[in-house]
């Protein structure tokens, strides 16, 4: 559902009413508010992609911190967005934004998530659509679709997506780990 003519104060009230829960997911951009209720299939897939990212990082030695659907919001830029999953890479540090946001897209026609992520300077955003993970990298205040991840150089997104059809998370994680160890 998309609402128009929503003020920043309206957005903040809705966020307060929702509280510290992760659903429904809310995106705010310049007076437009999108409210989504994630399905069981959506939540399984976004979590599975995240767990496979974590397996990759553990196997290749990338330090990471997970932040799930961390709410990014800023009245000055009039944007608020909640990724399906997000990560900060490298040693523990204080940060105001994730390095990577992951979005699982089931339908089209919603607000442009890239506009919201750009407002916060998120370095890279991955979109899963119809079995394909597409990375977008922030360059000069614009997201550019790329063939490979830059925040996780070496990760094979086609390879990773090949494990998303496994019936359980643990099976997918073990199988992906085994392939990475070869």
CA distance 134 to 143: 12
What DSSP assignment string belongs to 102-124? EEE-SS--S--HHHHHHHHT-SE
CATH tag, 39-180: 3.90.1570
With a cut of 60, say whether residue 111 has pLDDT above it: no
Q: Using alpha carbons only, what angle is made at residue 152 by residues 147 and 158, rounded to the nearest 5 degrees?
A: 45
Average pLDDT, the chain: 89
CA distance 38 to 68: 14
Of 1-5, 15-19, 151-155, highest mean pLDDT: 151-155
With a cut of 90, say whether residue 156 has pLDDT above it: yes
Tokens of 79: 């944007």
pLDDT in tens, 92-108: 777 778 999 999 987 66
Q: Where are the domains of the chain?
A: 39-180
CA 69 to chain centre: 7
């Amino acid at each position: 559902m998309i609402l128009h003519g929503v003020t920043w104060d309206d957005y903040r009230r809705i966020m307060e009413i929702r509280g510290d829960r992760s659903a429904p997911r809310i995106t705010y951009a310049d007076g437009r508010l999108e409210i989504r209720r994630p399905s069981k299939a959506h939540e399984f897939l976004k979590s599975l992609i995240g767990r496979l990212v974590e397996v990759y990082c553990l196997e290749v030695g990338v330090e990471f911190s997970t932040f799930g659907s961390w709410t990014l919001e800023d009245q000055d830029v009039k944007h608020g967005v909640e990724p399906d999953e997000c990560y900060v890479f490298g040693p523990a540090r204080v940060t105001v934004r994730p390095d990577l946001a992951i979005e699982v897209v089931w339908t089209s026609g919603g607000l442009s998530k890239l506009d919201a992520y750009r407002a916060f300077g998120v370095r890279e955003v991955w979109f899963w659509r119809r079995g394909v993970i597409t990375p977008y990298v922030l360059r000069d205040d614009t997201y550019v679709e790329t063939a490979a991840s830059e925040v996780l150089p070496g990760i094979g997104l086609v390879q990773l997506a090949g494990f998303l059809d496994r019936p359980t998370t643990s099976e997918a994680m073990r199988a992906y780990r085994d392939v990475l160890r070869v």
